[in-house]
Amino acid sequence: AYYSEKQKQHLYSISDEQLRPYFPENKAVNGLFEVVKRIYGITAKERTDVDVWHPEVRFFELYDENNELRGSFYLDLYAREHKRGGAWMDDCVGQMRKADGTLQKPVAYLTCNFNRPVNGKPALFTHDEVITLFHEFGHGLHHMLTRIETAGVSGISGVPWDAVELPSPGMANWCWAPEARAVISGRLDAGEPRARE
């Protein structure tokens, strides 16, 4: 990360920190959902009536074009005391057909350690953090969009670790596409996207 940041500064005369004002949380998160909707026809809908372990954690459900619930996830974006560092996706509940015939839908945890909002202003992400968000959401989509109904092999379960990493870089690569950058970025004070730069 250190050398890639140095190379970025050398080649483009810009640092990731200088890009932070262009990636306010609401643009990055809502833009991620818009990209997913355009690619997969999946809509994310927030629910506020679900118990969470911290007031900053959010809960979303994913619906397909037929308004079928495909899965849901907890979104825990901010660093805080006693929270493990890094970013990851984990399965909370795997999809499976139960003995009574009902289908248990998958639930995922998407966890990051980004800077939280300060002084009533939204959190600002670096481009690398947005890439991380997309990467982890790629894992989440792998888990939540499964059609497999056997718990041991649905979603990310039973998938070799090298194959688990296939969907996530694909999602992360969308952060470089001009069409995606137009919806994931916008300067906080002006709303202008960084789509072409």
* Phi and psi, residue 158, nearest 5°: 75, 10
Residue 139 belongs to what H/E stretch?
helix 127-144
Q: For residue 63, how far is the Cα from the chain centroid?
A: 16
Is there a contact between 140 and 108 (Cβ–Cβ < 8 Å)?
A: yes
Return the half-sphere exposure (C-beta side, CA atoms, 13 A cut-off) of residue 63.
9
| Per-residue pLDDT, 108 | 98
Is there a contact between 107 and 72 (Cβ–Cβ < 8 Å)?
A: yes
Is there a contact between 134 and 32 (Cβ–Cβ < 8 Å)?
A: yes
Is there a contact between 51 and 157 (Cβ–Cβ < 8 Å)?
A: no
**List of residues 6+ apart from 153 with CB closer than 8 A:** 159
Domain ranges in the chain are 24-184
- Fold classified for 24-184: Neurolysin; domain 3 (1.10.1370)
Return the half-sphere exposure (C-beta side, CA atoms, 13 A cut-off) of residue 123.
19
Query: What is the set of active-site residues?
Result: 136
Reference 36, options 56, 7, 63; nearest CA is: 63
pLDDT in tens, the chain (197 residues): 677 767 777 777 778 888 899 999 999 999 999 999 999 999 999 999 999 999 999 999 999 999 999 999 999 999 999 999 999 999 999 999 999 999 999 999 999 999 999 898 999 999 999 999 999 999 999 999 999 999 889 988 888 888 888 889 999 999 999 999 999 999 877 655 554 54
Reference 32, options 8, 69, 4, 60; nearest CA is: 60
